[in-house]
């Protein structure tokens, strides 16, 4: 079955690189109109040209309410509506034990990873989705499912995003579906420190599928969740991790 998004209109935050760009490209290839959002105009322009299919871009601070509100308004005006919102933008400014995190980086991580998805979903709901329906897809992480020696703050925000997904799915049904994708380690610049060089090869051996993920792996899942084929799926978390979370325990 070919999954199509013809006639649908989408916003993808953090859409200029990595997973976000992969999702935007897959949406466009499936027939959707797409607006990608991030901070840097030059990076957005390059990404939009690579995505093609008349992809639009808007430079905005994802974590700022006024910037988000004007972006949603501009995107709706440009596309004539909004059917899909992908909350992909994320921040991970701190690595280390949670007990040692400084409050500015703690607050930054929560603002981008938890508050911003709620804010963008509120804006999309109030502007058009409450009347016309739609699909919201939050991009989380398998870090939401377990503790970590160095990424506990990031994982905590992604666990909060899972709960936010379930809560909003219950509140916005049946008009809007809300789901989250939990990627494993994906080969992006955002996660480069975790996979570059020999370290990536060693990590890949721990995955039952014996490779690390690519942005296309997440993009395909996002197309499915955004499509009419997933019309009875809401409030769910879809783990896309090459089997990492079900690998055999040592011994």
d(CA 179, CA 238) in angstroms, rounded, equals 8
For the chain, helix, strand, coil in percent to 5 are: 50, 15, 35
d(CA 53, CA 34) in angstroms, rounded, equals 9
Among 175, 207, 190, which residue's Cα sits nearest to residue 18? 190
Interior angle at CA 170, CA 121 and CA 1, nearest 5 = 80
- E-assigned strand segments in the chain: 9-13, 33-38, 56-59, 84-87, 134-139, 176-183, 237-240
Q: DSSP class of residue 62?
A: T
Contacts 24+ apart (CB under 8 A), 37-41: 37/11, 37/12, 37/13, 37/62, 37/71, 37/89, 38/13, 38/14, 38/62, 38/89, 40/16
Q: Is 163 a catalytic residue?
A: no
d(CA 116, CA 109) in angstroms, rounded, equals 10
Which residue reads 């379930």 in tokens?
Answer: 166
- 94, 154, 207, 224: which is the annotated catalytic residue? 154
By annotation, the residues acting in catalysis are 154
């Amino acid at each position: 079955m070919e999954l199509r998004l013809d006639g649908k209109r989408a916003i993808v935050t953090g859409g200029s690189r990595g997973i976000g760009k992969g999702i935007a490209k897959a949406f466009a290839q499936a027939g959707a109109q797409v607006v990608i959002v991030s901070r840097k105009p030059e990076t957005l322009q390059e990404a939009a040209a690579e995505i093609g299919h008349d992809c639009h871009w808007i430079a905005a601070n994802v974590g700022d309410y006024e910037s988000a509100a004007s972006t949603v308004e501009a995107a709706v005006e440009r596309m004539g509506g909004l059917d899909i919102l992908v909350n992909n933008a994320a921040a991970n400014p701190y690595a280390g034990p949670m007990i040692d995190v400084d409050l500015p980086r703690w607050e930054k991580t929560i603002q981008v990873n938890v508050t911003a998805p709620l804010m963008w979903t509120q804006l999309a709901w109030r502007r058009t989705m409450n009347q016309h329906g739609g699909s919201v897809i939050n991009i989380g992480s398998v870090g939401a499912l377990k503790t970590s020696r160095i990424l506990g703050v990031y994982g905590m925000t992604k666990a909060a995003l899972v709960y936010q997904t379930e809560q909003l799915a219950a509140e916005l049904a049946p008009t809007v579906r809300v789901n989250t994708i939990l990627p494993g380690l994906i080969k992006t610049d955002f996660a480069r420190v975790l996979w570059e060089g020999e370290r990536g090869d060693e990590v890949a051996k721990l995955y039952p599928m014996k490779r690390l993920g690519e942005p296309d792996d997440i993009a395909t899942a996002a197309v499915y969740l955004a499509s009419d084929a997933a019309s009875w799926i809401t409030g769910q978390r879809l783990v896309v991790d090459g089997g990492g979370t079900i690998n055999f325990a040592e011994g």
